[in-house]
A and B are shown apart, each in its own frame.
Chain A
């Protein structure tokens, strides 16, 4: 930045970058007069020849006055035996959506996608969905049983499972109800609540195929697999045998450490590309069978109500989807000028091939840069350059997976599935940028 030439249109003082509440409220209410005052103030600084945002001609106090951390002794090692984020990052938490559920042991907490980077979800920010609360189960007492249409029904301890050939794979997990509140109309303010039932980890465990082989499963009649949890809800879901033998895992670790209790410690199913409810936590039993099981969460919940009144049961695959995470709803841009627009893309059918971004509500599109690695059934980070001219804009992202499927608009989905659906909304998300810089959730066809 040229000294003495602060940027025009700056909404916030730099570099500390905090709006006072009064300033923030003014900007958010869209008072153009506030912008003019800010400009006038900036002009005043130019006139006096000072560095931007500061009153002294010598420069910024953040540089000129050495802070305590530059002049003192810092904290010792292991002051925190299990590290935690900076106190300045406390805003980034998983949070419930008020009013969505009545009891918090049968509820959801959403991951703060607006503040996350890359593709890996930190374990403490992984979204949660519990039907009957979570447990911290003694791993030495946990058992996995594999039975049904197998030659030898077997019991495995965690010791056994951790001796078997291990694989580590990066995959996304998305609840089938993610973005479900937006089927009919815009309902929630930020990407945390619109898309935050989404996380991505490197899982370590044993391929389910390894266990099925070890028990000698019936290759002729074994068409389906049932997974069942050890907790009170004893969640069950039917998985097709072709999925089970392909990339399904019995995982004990996420992101380099054991699973977190909220995510199924000590053992969970990882069913890549399939909605999160099938990733049974506290996994205690695998049964091989010749028919589907008709479990509650595949025939009565997580089903799609079609306009003809029929329910699509056993819906599983999370189709190709993307969302811009920054900037996103509930934020105010700092200023006109350059931005790295960034977001996430994923597909339950394979790899992301391409992501396009529009800044004019879908009229014109540019192709974004995909950040590696680009993996099958895994989040893919995309980035694209943008210069905001201070005018109104509508930002959208549109992902294409390696089957050639193009992420749809919400009205295209509604044309087939109607408006009374809850699950499997993979529509293009639109964020409107107002002249004030405030970004808000809208739907544009």
Chain B
């Protein structure tokens, strides 16, 4: 059923609603309108129920990818910098069988294209949640195009391919891991059968005499100074690991501008001392050192967006950020973000 005819059906049902269904909780809730349902009913199921009509090709997908996706996922979807890699590890033979061999051998870190068993999942997720810092900003064509580009990076579709609602079911039959999954296990149903049956032995139970694994020395201080992560009373004290490993997990008191940067979401993509999705703040400070126009220039960039200064990855616009806040934040960054 098309969206519009389904919506009309829903409306008719709502009008014909039996009185009994609403009487129990009189005055609670109201009918959802067809437009409201259409606005939120964005899920796309494996049988493609919910998939909007449309199409998008690999070439268009490449443009969208370079503008909006490379910063986190890399030019070829291979990046492991911010999130797990999307592309790699599946072969032509896997496309033929629908089972990814490297999942059996374990000689390849798992990528999205090794795992995904339904192409609808890619469409649905990219449409609802990507790009990471601007979800739901892609058009229907852009979503088709990005899915097509991703599949092309995985050599599942050719470079001139145009993905559409009409051919997506055929693409499903080329997914490398389309047969590599099951719901037949004990962790779906609350009454499901557990994998293991341990017994509650109480005396002289068989155990392996050895300690099979112990915390490596380097990991003792890997989570900051444990001494600061407990309390000064009780049956035990936390050990002092201040001499082992990176800085304590608890950050020192930050300046109000550091708090503002956090609250405004800047720190989702930037760090002070290193490149994350965008450049590190210390790098920014070094680049604009001595530039008297930097505050005004960069504050405008923060609010309006921009790209080019740090490679092709764009800085998205932040129109909701007040000009004074933008200037304050830029000033703070240029002073070393302390």
Contacts and interface: CB of A to CB of B under 8 A. Distances in A.
B231 interface: yes
A374 interface: no
Contacts of B226: 189-190, 330
A348 B190 contact: yes
B196 A413 contact: yes
B232 to A, nearest CB: 6
Given A190-B223, A405-B194, A294 B45 contact: yes
Given A154-B29, A154-B30, A92 B230 contact: yes
Contacts of A154: 29-32
A21 B222 contact: no
Interface stretch (B150-158, B262-270, B319-327): B262-270
Contact of A317 (B120, B190, B199, B202): B190
30 contacts: A19-B240, A88-B232, A95-B224, A98-B246, A105-B268, A112-B230, A115-B230, A151-B18, A155-B30, A164-B28, A186-B216, A188-B223, A189-B226, A233-B128, A234-B42, A292-B45, A294-B45, A294-B121, A295-B125, A305-B110, A310-B181, A310-B182, A311-B103, A312-B183, A326-B235, A331-B236, A334-B237, A364-B202, A405-B197, A413-B195
Interface of A: 12, 17-19, 21, 24-25, 28, 88-89, 91-93, 95-99, 102-106, 112, 114-115, 131-133, 145-147, 151-156, 160, 163-164, 185-190, 192-193, 210, 213-216, 226, 228, 232-234, 236, 240, 242-243, 246, 273, 284-285, 287, 289, 291-296, 299-300, 303-305, 308-317, 319, 326-327, 329-334, 339-340, 348-349, 354, 356, 361-365, 394, 398, 400, 405-409, 411-413, 415-417, 420, 424, 432, 437-445
Interface in B8-47: 10, 13-14, 17-18, 21-22, 24-25, 27-32, 36-37, 40-43, 45-47
A365 to B, nearest CB: 5
A90 to B, nearest CB: 8
Given A309-B103, A311-B181, A316 B195 contact: no
Given A115-B234, A153-B32, A154-B30, 7 more contacts: A28-B239, A98-B223, A105-B268, A153-B14, A310-B180, A331-B236, A442-B214
A111 to B, nearest CB: 12
A364 B125 contact: no
A232 B135 contact: yes
Interface in B104-133: 104-106, 110, 112, 115-118, 120-121, 124-125, 128-129, 132
A156 B106 contact: no
B268 A24 contact: no
Contacts of B31: 152-155
B100 A441 contact: no
B181 A91 contact: no
Contacts of B219: 186-189
A89 B234 CA distance: 12
Contact of B211 (A340, A420, A432): A432
Nearest to B33: A155
A315 to B, nearest CB: 4
Contacts of B180: 309-311
A417 B232 CA distance: 41
Nearest to B216: A186
Given A98-B223, A331-B238, A93 B250 contact: yes
A214 B28 contact: yes
A24 B28 contact: no
Interface in B183-198: 183, 185-192, 194-198
A300 B121 contact: yes
Contact of A299 (B101, B116, B203, B236): B116
Most buried by B among A103, A405, A415, A441: A103
Contacts of A243: 190
Contacts of A305: 103, 110
A12 B234 CA distance: 12
Most buried by A among B10, B197, B212, B222: B212
The 8 closest A-B pairs by CB, nearest first: A309-B104, A309-B103, A331-B236, A315-B187, A406-B198, A232-B135, A443-B213, A153-B32
A365 B201 CA distance: 8
Interface string B282-304: 00000000000000000000000
B68 interface: no
B224 A214 contact: no
Given A312-B182, A409-B198, A214 B25 contact: yes
A297 to B, nearest CB: 9
Given A98-B246, A311-B182, A408-B196, A317 B187 contact: yes
Contact of A314 (B177, B188, B202): B188
Nearest to B119: A294
Contact of B214 (A21, A409, A441): A441
B168 to A, nearest CB: 13
B198 to A, nearest CB: 4
Contacts of B66: none
A186 B220 CA distance: 11
Contact of A91 (B196, B202, B231): B231
A81 B276 CA distance: 39
Most buried by B among A213, A309, A315: A309
A91 B135 CA distance: 36
Nearest to B242: A21
A315 B190 CA distance: 11
Contact of A156 (B28, B47, B125, B216): B28
A299 B192 contact: no
A437 B235 CA distance: 11
A291 B43 CA distance: 12
B331 interface: no
Contact of B188 (A96, A240, A409): A240
A155 B233 CA distance: 51
Contacts of A28: 239-240
A339 B236 CA distance: 10
B129 A232 contact: yes
B228 interface: yes
B226 to A, nearest CB: 4
Contacts of B120: 294
B46 A152 contact: no
Contacts of B277: 103
Most buried by A among B29, B46, B181: B29
A160 B28 contact: yes
Contacts of A400: 200
Contacts of A409: 198
Contact of A412 (B37, B46, B196, B249): B196
Contacts of A354: 200
